[in-house]
Copies of this chain bind each other. A is one copy, B any other.
């Protein structure tokens, strides 16, 4: 990342880093499209009223004002102003309602865009970053099989990024109904509050969370203990999940009868979560585990919730999160339940570049630099480059007829592997074009209408140095 970037929180990449980002974007898009997701792009702004409605980040909004409005900005209520979107889920829900008639449901969409959060500058967090989202939104109903399929699409995408240095990713899944049923079962009623405190486990530890559950959510010490025990429960199979959950219910005197609404609610969550881990295990063993500490701060999730962690990079936190939301989008009586996950691209890229050591094979997309002996020859050099380009080979032409060493240095700095030497027009007719691979030193006579670069040098590629 650019050092000395003058606006903190707004990262910017050097060309070689941007080339890695571009390949990451291309890779994600390929996986999303192979899975039938439709790409959309929403405008960068939403109405203040819509930005303020939902989610943990409602306090971190950038509002816009036209230069002409300076001094009068506050005359307009925040709800009527426009601001930059802070995620891609709120815009999606607005887009779905606005264009219901033009969409086919279930609507599977991918979207990669910048989002902005007006965080306090001193926190050193990104205020502008790229999110890569997939969601499926149903019209009225949404089958639960999507709650397995979507995290698996993300795992597939992340798996493809392992060649860029990304460690193995594991999705940790939980279910809001499971948590809520259990909390109610032990006599707690401030469900949102408990989830909010449990969400802090990784940051502040069990002891502090326990204190907060007592202080903020009206829990007794033993209720707090039960919440923490639930959060410790993990499972890799549905059966394991069910039996361990039932054990915990018995321990904390939650009746497992059909009359107990709390247990019935929890059971729905257990069933869905069990299906998710079992189905995922069949397709990609170890990719998805049940982890009952996953809480997610956002209040609009109603079913499955997901966070994704990288092996040996837990300090990075979750790099891909999401869940099922049944009530985020509605229009009159009509509901549009959805499930989706979002990759925090910029943080992921930062890890790949600076921890994993992902590098691009060359800065320039050009495979060939055509050398220029004299400025008078430039038209001939341009013609050679055009012939190559018409055949799909990216080519640049030397900026000036400088000494050959300087031209080769220009190619070298940009990582362009081949330098093309046009036949010397002042020599006899027997003079031929030649092309040199400046990495291997090999040089051969060549014809622009038929020459091919070695496969390994044909395109910019990203690899991992470490």
Contacts and interface: CB of A to CB of B under 8 A. Distances in A.
A174 interface: no
A128 B44 contact: yes
Which of the four size classes fits the interface of chain A?
35 or more
B36 A108 contact: no
A414 interface: yes
Copy total for this chain: 2
Given A44-B114, A45-B10, A39 B64 contact: no
Nearest to A106: B399
Given A66-B61, A389-B34, A43 B400 contact: no
A386 B61 contact: no
A71 B73 CA distance: 8
* Interface of chain A, main secondary structure: mixed
Contacts of A403: none
A44 B6 CA distance: 13
A257 to B, nearest CB: 28
A185 to B, nearest CB: 30
A351 interface: no
Interface in A29-81: 33-47, 59-68, 70-71, 73-74, 78
Nearest to A31: B389
Contacts of A65: 62-63, 65, 73, 118
Q: Which of A98, A149, A399 has the most CB of B within 10 A?
A: A399
A456 interface: no
Given A34-B389, A98-B2, A413-B104, A41 B18 contact: yes
Nearest to A37: B365
A413 B47 CA distance: 31
A382 interface: yes
A364 B68 contact: no
Contacts of A68: 59, 118
B63 A15 contact: no
Contacts of A396: 35-36, 108
Contacts of A378: 145
Please give me the 4 A-B residue pairs with the lowest Cβ-Cβ distance, nearest first.
Answer: A36-B396, A66-B118, A36-B366, A33-B365
Given A38-B365, A145-B375, 12 more contacts: A5-B43, A10-B44, A10-B45, A14-B102, A21-B41, A45-B128, A62-B67, A64-B118, A70-B73, A104-B414, A279-B379, A283-B386
